[in-house]
Structure 1
Amino acid sequence: MTDLTRLTAAEVADLVASGGTSAVEVTQAHLDRIAAVDDRVNAFLHVDTEGALAAARAVDERRAAGEELGPLAGVPVAVKDVLTTKGVPTTVGSKILEGWRPPYDSTLVQRLRAAGTVMLGKTNMDEFAMGSSTEYSAYGPTHNPWDLSRIPGGSGGGSAAALAAYEAPLAIGSDTGGSIRQPGAVTGTVGAKPTYGGTSRYGLVAFSSSLDTPGPCARTVLDAALLHQVIGGHDPRDSTSIPQPVPDVVGAAKLGATGDLTGVKLGVVTEFTGEGAEPGVMAAFRESVEALAKLGAEIVEVSCPHFKYALPAYYLIAPSECSSNLARFDGVRFGLRTGDDGNRSLEEVMSLTREAGFGPEVKRRIMIGTYALSSGYYDAYYGQAQKVRTLITRDFTSAFEQVDALISPTTPFVAFPIGARTSDPYQMYLADLFTIPTNLYGGPAISVPCGLSDGLPVGLQIMAPTMADDRMYRVAAALESTVGTFTPPAL
């Protein structure tokens, strides 16, 4: 009998549509898998068993009635706990929102429901999406299915781990500085950050509003493209949403799967091929570049001199925006409320609530951001960081006048042991080294598995111009066609 949890999302959808299996059977198989392994992985913060089975039954009823089903109808999906879900807990990995059940769905969740996908539950994450390892969740770290003693990347490690552990065929993440792509790279899965504004932020609990981008996570490039097609597009409720249709990412993925990159020009970012990455990561990357060349791509070196300033610029811009966005979590309107015994002032209650509700990394970034925005320091820190952002955007613009897409390793290193970097925030921040420039620019980028180093996955990153998301899918699918997919050891 076919193990339904091992099928791709495209295969599941075809089986459900043809009557080869039911959406309920598929959903139950994944719920059983979660029950069997998630006590070791900790990918999920909440499993919505009742809601998932009800959604699956609705799909089966529609098929029985002869209705035409969408391309992902009946396919289970795991949702990062940063997106609001009506009546389902949304904690953002933080104690300050423990038990909160939103009264509305985010736009992405609405689109997932409309497409007939089956939401299994909410996945673990670094608190408020602040982290690179999913160790900063208030509900314990997520473990990498390749090696349970190692991190699954962050901040969306729960979504990536759920895929690698075969607990879900699809997942949703959010990417502020690499939080979709990094987990994809270290778990051997595919993670795509769409163009900023190409997916709606309505109902996404904000960390850094000018950077946050929700996007698809999957085990294959085609599955990621199918999910991207469902969740993308203009949303009038999001003022930053781009009023343009989603590029044909599915068609691009299918074209790339033919393994022909003739006429495609790819730029290797010079600044990302020197020091800073593990030898095994660079070896896998170089082998992948050679594979892309054999598929017909023209490979050239492209210099982006200001990329080296992206990390410090990001760690001023993102904390500054977070210090503003997180001011709403004060114990007054919703969530945790501590110290309200009738003898304390409102200010004291707010202070006690934030002290109890926020974890150490969130507090660290709030303090950095508040300092950077303070009177007398705004121009020296936040203002300068925004100027660097402009220079990085110019680097991208110049590069895309020469090539169709840029390529680099996704992360400088493979998954490291849990606890190895929590005492040194700077070493943790280095995980973002190769992913941050794209967030500052606003363009799309995807991480696709490209090899192994010491038995652990390595990811290759493909960066494209804004609203040219289809380019990255074509290149990613082409690489996948020759490198293949990667399966972790059995749990």
Structure 2
Amino acid sequence: MNADDIAWAQATELRDLLVAGDVSAVEVATVFADRIEALNPQLNAYVYFDRSTVLADAAELDARRGRGEDLGPLHGVPYSIKCLTDVAGLPATLSLKPFVGRMAERDEVVAHRMREAGGLFLGLTNAPEAGYYGGTNSHLYGPTHNPWAHDHTAGGSSGGAAAAVAAGLSPLSQGTDGGGSVRIPASLCGVVGFKPSLGRIPQRITLSRSATNLFHGPLTRTVDDAALMYDVVTGPDSSDFLSLPAEPAIASAVRQTPERLRIAYSPDLGTGYHIDPEVASVVRAAAEAFSELGASVVEATPPWHDLEKAMWEGVWVPGYAGLRDAADWRSFRGEVDDNLIELVLASEKLTEVDFGRADVLRGMAYDAFETFMQDFDLLLSPTLTSAAFPLSQFAPSWVGPSVREQILGWLLTYPFNMLPMPAISVPAGFTSDGRPVGLQIAGRHLTDATVLASARAFETARPWQQNRPQMAV
């Protein structure tokens, strides 16, 4: 195999080649190390990468194979971890200048499971400060560029992870998703991003164990690869009392053609947000593929309301209140984003009544969705209201001026963080100037297999993995 064949191979294919001995882990490691060194200066997808460690780890994987030891399900397959996720002995800064020097004392569950499965750890990918918005830029690490459009956002907060996958710098990337942070960059970078049901993947993303909007999820180029990674990282762990038993053989289940499905298509999920006309057109055409697959597709939206208020006052501001005492934020202006400082300090003004009302709205949204989904198996929508926009902008140009509007007012992802349901973003097509557009597929709680299988059926009907950004190595 040549270097391009290795770099763009599906993780499932690469694993089979590695297990068969048709390619060595060192060969694979060398290809990805070379690509990271060549392309990362353009992208800034990785914020930590150590070539010598990657090659040494690969040599040990080859030695294990040579000794006839049992090989894990990811034997030699490269992967990255988002820099907001702890990897023992590596920086744990939350992309914040005030936290420079902090080191992780132990692996987060997902990081441990990826390594134990035989995966080849490549490095840490970029994220915004404390993962607070849907882009990737920070005073500490700088911006991640979109592989399809330089000087444009890669999305966030798992922007480095998505850019790495899109540019062929890792077949598997781990991301975290608190308001869409896996699906946002997946949509903008033209890759697959999956947020599972609550409890499927254990999380210690925050010290608070009451957070139910936070998820780990895979970013990959194909649904099969997302299912492979999902299989590895799911299952209970004592660190997360909400974690659930693993689903059996999900990677095999997603290959089964779904039965005739009842599908709702919503142009804006009832948010009332302006949708870029090109995005709306691309996603509507993508939804038609499900009719061709034999599904019944109708335009319909859950009868929920005040979603943005429920998210902002019931989830986002209370969640960032946990950072309030971590630093003297007012003294770090110029070294920390003003919008993040405003978000953290907004918790001082949020009353218990505000939070209680927002929490009621969140419960009402769950009830509305559950009632609505009695008539449907899946809900389709655009993932975002916009394709990638210039890095000079914090949000699309039409979004309102408040921090709340700038953070939430262009996302169609956060409703599924207030709810425990699975949701996936898959590439739906491109704008006329070549920027990717994502289709979001959501299902009922614990219907992860159905969501993944439906995404794979769409991928088969509208293949996208042959598309690659034009980047010179």
Identity of counterpart residues, as a percentage?
33
Matched, 1:411 2:384: yes
How is 1:21-170 mapped onto 2 (pairs within 5 angstroms)?
21-136=23-138, 138-170=140-172
Residue among 296, 299, 307 paired with 1:298:
296
TM-score where L is the length of structure 2: 0.92
Q: Distance in 1 between matches of 2:229 and 2:7?
A: 17
Structure 1 residue 301 displacement after superposition = 3.1
Q: Distance in 2 between matches of 1:38 and 1:459?
A: 24
CA contact (8 A) 1:124 1:137 kept: no
CA deviations on 1:359-380 (whole Å, 9 max, x unpaired) are: 32321111122211xxxx320x
2:352 aligns to what?
378
CA deviations on 1:33-76 (whole Å, 9 max, x unpaired) are: 01001111000111133332232222212211223322221111
SS in 2 for 1:276: coil
| Pair 203,428 (structure 1): closer, same or farther in 2 beyond 3 Å | closer
Structure 1 residue 155 displacement after superposition = 0.9
2:344 aligns to what?
366
Matched, 1:195 2:176: no
Structure 1 residue 323 displacement after superposition = 3.7
| Pair 50,124 (structure 1): closer, same or farther in 2 beyond 3 Å | same
| Pair 292,448 (structure 1): closer, same or farther in 2 beyond 3 Å | same
Q: Distance in 2 between matches of 1:411 and 1:318?
A: 20
Matched, 1:468 2:442: no
SS in 1 for 2:150: coil
Gaps of 5+ in 1: 331-349
- RMSD in angstroms over aligned alpha carbons? 2.2
| Pair 137,452 (structure 1): closer, same or farther in 2 beyond 3 Å | farther
SS in 2 for 1:120: strand
SS in 2 for 1:305: coil
Q: Distance in 1 between matches of 2:199 and 2:410?
A: 21
CA contact (8 A) 2:74 2:114 kept: no
Residue among 393, 402, 408 paired with 2:366:
393
Equivalent AA in structure 1 for residue 352 of structure 2: Y
| Pair 297,481 (structure 1): closer, same or farther in 2 beyond 3 Å | same
Equivalent AA in structure 2 for residue 399 of structure 1: F
Q: Distance in 2 between matches of 1:155 and 1:173?
A: 8
How many residues are matched? Answer: 461
2:280 aligns to what?
282
Q: Which moved more, 1:179-188 or 1:41-50?
A: 41-50
CA deviations on 1:252-299 (whole Å, 9 max, x unpaired) are: 3222xxxx4441221113653876211111111111111111011111
Matched, 1:489 2:470: yes
Q: Distance in 2 between matches of 1:280 and 1:209?
A: 36
More helix by share: 1
Q: Distance in 2 between matches of 1:34 and 1:311?
A: 38
2:253 aligns to what?
252
CA contact (8 A) 1:208 1:319 kept: no
Structure 1 residue 426 displacement after superposition = 5.0
Q: Distance in 1 between matches of 2:375 and 2:196?
A: 22
Equivalent AA in structure 1 for residue 468 of structure 2: T
Gaps of 5+ in 2: none
Structure 1 residue 464 displacement after superposition = 1.2
Equivalent AA in structure 2 for residue 169 of structure 1: P
